[in-house]
Amino acid sequence: MNRNCNADPDYFLVLRVQDGNMDAFDALVEKYKQPIVNFASRTLGDPIEAQDVAQNAFVRVFKESGRFRCTCRFSTWLYAITRNLCRNEIRRRSRHRVDSLGHEDVERREFARWQMDSAKLGNVPEAVFRRELQEKIEQALESLPERERSAIRLLQDEDLSYADVAAVLGTSLAATKTLIFRGRQALKRALRPYLRTGAWRVSWAEAFAQ
């Protein structure tokens, strides 16, 4: 047996799933459903679609369990499946996207501008700083190339190791570290206007690992 198998706490559950054992499958779903839904929701920005993606991911796990090998952990394989489903959904959206700027978008931009001006004067409560910064981080993440964005989300939000992130992305450990470094530098550049005051810098440090 590959020593990677012994290191994977889910390996024997997967073996039972390969034999059609529904109890083992239910155990995997129970263990990973919420993390997978959370990952899909953060990737897509839509908790309803995230539920559908998670369900499709587990259906694929059941149907394709025989293809699982111990070259990576089961959780890594599952995240890779989910990431691919999210990418498919994002591509589907892009084909149907209508470029428009609605009244709500204008209001949001005006509110953000007011917050920046108020921040310079020290008139905005800390809770507003944090909420606005988190929104700006999400927007900046969405502007990153998909591989950089996925690498950062997997490391930061899902608490995967660099090695597991590399396995999910199908790239080398060195390349993964480069993607994450490049992504974080891009985030800092995108958020620079919001980091000019001490309060914003403190909030940034707490909201995202530097």
> pLDDT value at position 123?
47
What secondary structure letter does DSSP report for 27?
Answer: H
Greater pLDDT, 186 or 117: 186
The winner for highest mean pLDDT among 10-19, 69-78, 113-122 is 10-19
User: What are the distances in angstroms from CA 205 to CA 127, 129, 137, 162, 188?
Assistant: 15, 12, 12, 21, 11
pLDDT, position 73: 87
Q: 184 to each of 12, 123, 172, 202, how far by Cα in Å?
A: 37, 29, 18, 16
Same fold for the pair 3-96 and 103-207: no
- Quick check: 126 pLDDT over 80? no
- Whether residue 68 is predicted with pLDDT greater than 90 in this model: the reply is no
What is the average pLDDT score of the chain? 79
Predicted local confidence at residue 83, as pLDDT:
93
Question: What integer is the mean pLDDT of 117-130?
Answer: 53
Q: In the structure, what pLDDT confidence band is assigned to residue 138 with cuts at 50, 70 and 90?
A: confident
DSSP per-residue codes, 119-180: HHHT-S-HHHHHHHHHHHHHHHHHHS-HHHHHHHHHHHTS---HHHHHHHHTS-HHHHHHHH
pLDDT-derived band of residue 80, with 50, 70 and 90 as boundaries? very high
Q: What is the pTM of this model?
A: 0.70
Cβ atoms of residues 144 and 178 within 8 Å:
no
- Answer yes or no: is pLDDT of 114 > 50: no
The CATH code for residues 103-207 is: 1.10.10.10
Whether the predicted pLDDT of 202 surpasses 50: no
Per-residue pLDDT for 115 more than 60? no
The per-residue pLDDT for range 190-201, each reduced to its tens digit, is 877 766 555 445
- In this prediction, residues 145-164 reach a mean pLDDT of 89
The domain locations on the chain are 3-96, 103-207
Q: Which CATH number fits domain 3-96: 1.10.260.40, 3.40.640.10, 1.10.1740.10, 1.10.1060.10?
A: 1.10.1740.10
Q: What integer is the mean pLDDT of 74-82?
A: 93
Q: Which amino acid is at 133?
A: L
